[in-house]
Amino acid sequence: MSRQDSAADSKIAANQALATTPESAGVAQLPAPLRAVIATVCKRARLWKHERADVEAELAAHFHDGLAQGTVPEKLLADFGDPKAAAKLIRRGKIRNRPLWWQVQHRLGQAIACLLVLVIVLAAIHTIRFYTGRPTLAFRPLDVLNKDAAALAEGDRAWPEYRAAYLALDLDQDQFNALTELEPDASNLAEVRQLLDRAAASIARIRSAAARPGMGYVASIGDDEELAIKSAILTGSVCLVSSSPGQMKPDPENPEAMAILLSHLTPVRSCARLLRADAIAALHAADAARLHADLTALLAVARHVRSPDTYISSLVSVAVVTMTCDLIRDVLAMNPALLSDDKWTDIAHRLAALGGPIDFVSLRGERLFFQDTLQRLYTDDGNGNGRLTAAGSDYFNKTASLGVDRTNAGMLVASAFLANRKQVTQAYESIMDRAESSIAVPLWIPVKESADIVLERYTRTALQRLRYMPVAVFAPALDRARYAAHEVVSNRDATLAVIALELHRRRTGAFPDAIDAIIPGLLPTLPLDNADGQPLRYRRQPGPKGDSYLLYALGTDLRDDGGTPATHPTDAASIRAFGRSHKLQKPCDDVIFPRPRFPRAAASGS
C-alpha cells in the first residue's frame, strides 16, 4: 500500500470517527461559563452539524482535561481567549477540511457573488453617469450652413429673386407640367409658347437671380407657408426638404441640423425646368440671345443650388447640370449654327468651371449633420470624447424613428455597450473619408474598399450595430454618390467635346475623322469612357442635315455595340447608370451625340 493510500485510509477513518463523534462529550457537565463559551464558539462558527458536534466535543474534552488538572474555570476561560475570534478561526480551519466539491462550489458562489456585486456597482455608476451627463452644444449647425449666405450682401443674394419668381408663377399643375416636361421635339409648342408668355416675368426674374453672385438662401426651421402653398399648386405636393421627424420639436436656441429646412430646393429646381422650357422655345424661335441667356442661367442655377452645402443640394445641382448638358447637345443637333463661336465658348467655359467629381458631390453637409447629432447625444470632455446621456437618448429616440422601440431604460442598457463619442466619430469619419476618396477615383478603376463596405464592417453583427448605433442609423449609403458624381462629370465632359467638335467644324468646314483632332486646341483632354477609361468612341458619319458624327460610350454593359442607341427610355437610363443592376431590354451603347429620341408613348410610359 502506498503512502498516499495509507493517508487516504487514515483520513476516511478519521472522518468516520468524526461522523460518530460521541454525544457523551460531557458538555452538560461543564460549569455554565465554559458551556457558554462552547455554545458561543459553535454558534458563531456556523458549521455543518457533524463539524459542530466535533468541535463541541473537542472543546468539552479540553475543558474537562483542564478541570481534571485542577485548573479553575476562570483560568480556563482566560486561557481560551476570545470566543468570537476562536469561532472565526475555527470556521476557517473547518471549511478548509471540507470536500473538494464543496470548496469548488463555495469558491464559485463567492466568485459569482463578487461578479454580481461588481456588475451592480458598475451598473450603478453607469446609471448615475447616464442620468447626470449633459450634452454640450459646441456649435450651431444653422450658423455653419448659413455662413456663405451671411457673407453675401443683400443685393448679391439670388434666392429672394428665385423665390419671388416662383411665387409669381400664374400656372396650374397641368400647365406647369406641360412646361417642365417639354421635349425639344415636342409638337405642342404653340400651347407652350402661350404658357411661357404667362410665365415670362417670372422667367426674366429667374435669369436676373441667376446673374447674382451667390444663392444667399438663409436656412431656418420655420416653414415658408407661401412657398408651401405655391408648391402644392404647381406640383400637387408640399415639399419642404428636411430630415426632421414629425415628433421632434426643434430647439429654438440652437436648431438641430435635422430640423433645418431646405425649402429652396424644390422652387429652384422648378425654376431650372422653366429655364429649360424657355430655352427649348428659344431654340425653335431661333432666338440666340434668349437661348444663351437661358443656358447660362441654368448653369448659374446649378452653381447656386450647391449652397448651403448639403448632399441633397449636390444632387439637385447634378440634376440641373444633367438637364442642361442634354439640352445643349440637342441644340447642337437641331440647330448648331444658332449660337456664335463666342457664345458656345462662353457656355463651354461655364460648364468646365463647375469642377470635377468632388465639386459636384459634397459630403461636408453630411459630416455637419452627424457632428451635430453627436453633440446632442454625448457629453463632451473637450478632447472629442464623451458618453451617451439620457437627454441624448431622448433625442435619439425622437430622431431615429425606425419602428424600433427604444425606451430610455433600453437605451440605458444599450449605452453600456455603445462606443464612446471618439470611437463613433472615428468610425463615421473613416466611412466619409472613404466615400470622398472613392469619389475621386474614376469608375473604370475598382475601389477596393468602398464606403458602404466600411460601413458594413461597423454594422455587420447585432453587437456591432448596437455598439455603433449612431453610425448604423445616421450614416447614409454613399456608394451612389460616386456614381452620381462621375455620371454628371462624364455627361459634362462629353458635352464639352460636342461643343468643341462643332467649333472644329466651323473652323475647318467638316467634322474631324478622329476625335483627337480637337485636342489640345479646343479641349485640353479627350473625354473618357466610364466603362474602360478609353476616349469616347467617335465615328464620323452623315446625318439628316449632312456631315455629322456618332459619339458614344460603352455604357454599363461594358460592351461595344457599334454605337447602337437605346430604343427605350429605361435602356437609355440603364446604360448610363453605373452601380445599379439594370437588365437591358436590347443591347445598346450610351449614345451621347446625337441624343437618342424615343416615341412619345415610350417616353411617357417610362
Partner 1 sequence: MKIERELMRGAGPVAVLKLLNRRDMYGYELVEAISERTEGALSMGQSTLYPMLYNLEAQGFIEGYWQEAADAQTPSKQSRQSSARDKPASRDRKYYRLTDKGKKRLADDSKQWEAVIRAMKALGVATLALPRSVAT
Q: Using CB under 8 A as the criterion, what x/- string covers residues 472-491 for binding partner 1?
A: --------------------
Interacting positions 71-90 with partner 1 (CB under 8 A): 72-73, 79-83, 85-86, 89-90
H or E element at residue 269? helix 265-284
Listed residue (597, 469, 445) closest to 533, CA to CA: 445
- The kind and range of the H/E element at 34 are helix 32-45
Output the smallest distance, CB 39 to partner 1, in A.
15
Minimum distance between the CB of residue 27 and partner 1, rounded to whole angstroms?
A: 11
Contacts of 471 (CB under 8 A, 6+ apart): 424, 427, 428, 431, 455, 458, 459
C-alpha cell at 514: 478622329
d(CA 5, CA 8): 5
Q: Which of 49, 70, 154, 253 binds partner 1 (CB under 8 A)?
A: 70
State yes or no: residue 52 binds partner 1 (CB under 8 A).
Answer: no
Closer CB to partner 1, 80 or 444, in the complex: 80
Q: How many residues bind partner 1 (CB under 8 A)?
A: 47
Indicate which single residue of 14, 104, 122, 440 sits in contact with partner 1 (rule: CB under 8 A). 14
Closest CB to partner 1 among residues 68, 463 = 68
Q: Is 603 exposed, middle or buried (0-12, 13-18, 19+ CB in 10 A)?
A: middle
Least separation in angstroms between residue 63's CB and partner 1 is: 8
Q: Contact, 165 vs 324, CB < 8 A? A: no
Residues 237, 241, 244, 247, Cα dihedral to 10°: -20
| Residue 100 beta carbon to partner 1: minimum distance, rounded to whole angstroms | 12
Indicate which single residue of 42, 56, 66, 227 sits in contact with partner 1 (rule: CB under 8 A).
66
Give the largest CA-CA distance in the chain.
142
Residue 68 is a binding residue for partner 1 (CB under 8 A): yes
Comparing CA positions, the residue from 148, 596, 97 lying closest to residue 362 is: 148
Nearer to partner 1, 55 or 348 (CB): 55
Which of 39, 40, 67, 385 touches partner 1 (CB under 8 A)? 67
CA distance 181 to 172: 14
458, 474 contact by CB (below 8 A): no
- CB of residue 85 to partner 1, shortest distance in Å: 6
Alpha helices, DSSP H, located in 338-468: 341-352, 357-360, 364-377, 390-399, 408-417, 421-439, 451-458, 462-467
Cβ nearer to partner 1, comparing 97 with 408: 97
Q: Which is nearer to partner 1, 26 or 410 (CB)?
A: 26
- For 521, the enclosing helix (H) or strand (E) is none
Nearest to partner 1 of 78, 286 (CB atom)? 78
- 21 part of the interface to partner 1, by CB under 8 A: yes
Q: Coil, strand, or helix at residue 540? A: strand
27 binds partner 1 (CB under 8 A): no
Interaction between residue 64 and partner 1 (CB under 8 A): yes
CB of 105 to partner 1, least distance (A): 17
Q: Which of 65, 143, 226, 513 binds partner 1 (CB under 8 A)?
A: 65
Nearest-angstrom CA–CA distance, 343 and 514: 25
**Smaller CB separation from partner 1, 30 or 551:** 30
Residues in contact with partner 1, shown as a per-residue x/- string from 96 to 125 under the rule CB under 8 A: xx----------------------------
Tell whether residue 69 is a contact of partner 1 (CB under 8 A). Answer: yes
C-beta closer to partner 1: residue 35 or 480: 35
AA letter at 184: P
Where does residue 580 fall: left (phi above 0), alpha (psi -120 to 50 degrees), or beta otherwise? beta
Q: For residues 9 and 456, which CB has a smaller minimum distance to partner 1 in the complex?
A: 9
Under the rule (CB under 8 A), what is the footprint of partner 1? Answer: 3, 6-7, 10-11, 13-14, 17-18, 20-22, 24-26, 29, 31, 54-55, 57-59, 61-62, 64-70, 72-73, 79-83, 85-86, 89-90, 92-94, 96-97
